[in-house]
Every structure is written in C-alpha cells, then in structure tokens.
Amino acid sequence: MRPICLVGIGKIAVDQHVPAIAASPDWTLAATVSRAGTVDGVPAYTDFAQMLAERPDIDTVSLCLPPVPRYDYAAAAIAAGRHVMLEKPPGATLAEVQALAAMAQDAGVTLYTTWHSRMAKGVAPAKAWLADKIITAAHITWKEDVRRWHPGQDWVFAPGGMGVFDPGSNALSIMTEILPAPVHLRQADLSFPANRDTPIAAELAWTGNVTGSFDWRQTGPQSWDITVETTDGTLALHDGGAQLVINGADVESGPDREYPALYDRMAALVKTAASEVDITPMIHIADALTLGKRHVVDAFDF
C-alpha cells in the first residue's frame, strides 16, 4: 500500500477521510499534520515543512484544510515532488487552483480536485439518463444546518470561506456533472448575516430555466435534492445524490462510498502521474459572488 499524509485533522477528516483511507487497499495513513488533531497510532506533525523534510517516503498528501490556507500547503507539497489531493472546494480562488495545476504539470505530479458528491450512487446513472434528454427545467434545494456540520467553525463565514457555498458546491458539482449542456448564472440574491462576510443563504437562477435555493439555517431534516424536468419525464436526486428516482420509480440507491471512491480515483491517477482538475463548480460560486445582490439578514452566531 502507498503511504499518504492527511493534513488538517478536523471534522471532515475524522468523519470521512480517515475511515476511507483505513478501508482502502491502496493507501496507508503514514502521517498527519494538524495544529491540534491527531489520529490514534499515526505519527503526528504540527509543522508541514518538517513532515515533508523528514518523510520522503510519503509521496502523496491529502489536504483537508479550509480553502484559504490550502494553496500554500499544496504549492509546498508540489515543490517537494508530492502528489496532492484537494478537499472541495479546491481553493479560495479560481486563479490559485489554475496556478497549482500548472505547477503540478511542470513537476510531473498528480493534482486531484475532488468533488465527493459526484461519487454519490445516483449521479453517474443520472448523467447517463439525461445525456440525450431535452431539459425543460431544473431546481436545486440544498438546505442544511451549519451548526450541525460546521460547529463553531467561524472560518466558513470569513472571507474565502464561501459561506453557504461550501456545502452548495456539492450541489453545483452534481449539476455540472449531470446536465448535458452547460448553463451560466443570470441572477443571484445572497443573504449575508449582519455580522458575517459570506452568505448564509442564496437564491440563484441560471440559463436553461435552472434555479437553486441554498440555505444554512435549516433545522430538522436536511434537504439535498436536485430535480430535473425533461420532455421524457422527471428525474430526481435525493439525499445528496445517493438516491435516484426517475418518473416516480426508485432507480438507484446505495450506501455512502463517496470518499472511498475518491481515494480509489486518486490511486489510479497517481499510478500514471495524471491530474484531474475541474473548477467548474467554483466558477458558479464566483459568478454568484460577483453578480449577486446583497441582502443583510439577522446576525448569526454558533
């Protein structure tokens, strides 16, 4: 198995990355880097440069840091000849991800911008079914409780944290994967808490009669749904893409293997030093933040 270092031992790393690596036939968790978090039985570093210097045996790094500091870590890893896997969204800006792609190409290493929701059970068959369909309308409903998924993580509301578009990027990654033709944003209404720098909710409208409702204030059941109307009927993805329903019939559903599938894909890419860099979902976020009308709403605190 190939040694990998996991950087940023927070909630998403503990909940998803660590179990996925542990179950993988391709990877072994050989080190972690984090200011405070650790994984039992795994050598832990607090300094990334020290890990790179002391562990030349580890040629792959998976970065689970927030988007803003991620570029510096990725650039250092690439400069040290390491393959790099980026948690979504892959960076704080489009330009820095493009720069990393160029660095990786020059260095001959893999750069993989992961979009875990694309690996949900229903996404691939949804894409296949829609491939030859005429789309008449589509709507995204992506509403969840930020206190549940990002407890106390103020960085999500800081510049570069993207606010509701952090989880919203999951929906956008599915939308851009399954629609047979690209769409572009025409209108956006963004709700900013009075004490925060990124939006907590958004209403978006694209070409092709595609709309989206995003909200981080949802309590109770969480809503991760995409509905696509076609001249041949209706397709719906529920539970973040895990369940596919076509014309009322349950076509595909299954257990969550999103993160294991990401590590499977990373292993395949590293074998040939190939890269997979897709910033399409980020383009829609950037467009929303550029085009969006700002609405100030009640202050938000964890």
Domains within the chain, CATH numbers bracketed: 2-113 (3.40.50.720), 117-254+286-297 (3.30.360.10)
d(CA 162, CA 144): 15
Active-site residue (options: 11, 88, 121, 271): 88
Percent of the chain with pLDDT over 90: 98
Question: For the segment 241-290, what is each residue's pLDDT rounded down to a tens digit?
Answer: 999 999 999 998 888 899 999 999 999 999 998 999 999 999 999 999 99
Give the pLDDT of residue 256: 83
CA distance 289 to 189: 9
pTM value surpassing 0.75:
yes
User: Tens digits of per-residue pLDDT, 6-56?
Assistant: 999 999 999 999 999 999 999 999 999 999 999 999 999 999 999 999 999
146/128 Cα distance (integer angstroms): 32
Q: Name the band, by pLDDT with cuts 50, 70 and 90, for residue 125.
A: very high
pLDDT of res. 294: 98
> Does 88 qualify as catalytic in the annotation?
yes
Q: In this predicted structure, what is the pLDDT of residue 149?
A: 94
Task: Please name the amino acid found at residue 196.
Answer: R
Q: How far is CA 113 from CA 55, 86, 92, 218, 277, in A?
A: 24, 5, 13, 28, 5
- pLDDT of 19: 97
Report the share of the chain in percent with pLDDT over 70.
100
Per-residue pLDDT, 255: 81
Residue 258, number of CB atoms within 10 A of its CB? 22
pLDDT digits (tens, 9 = 90+) for 177-208: 999 999 999 999 999 999 999 999 999 999 99
Identify the residue whose tokens are 């409903």.
141
- Token pair, residue 71, equals 């570029």
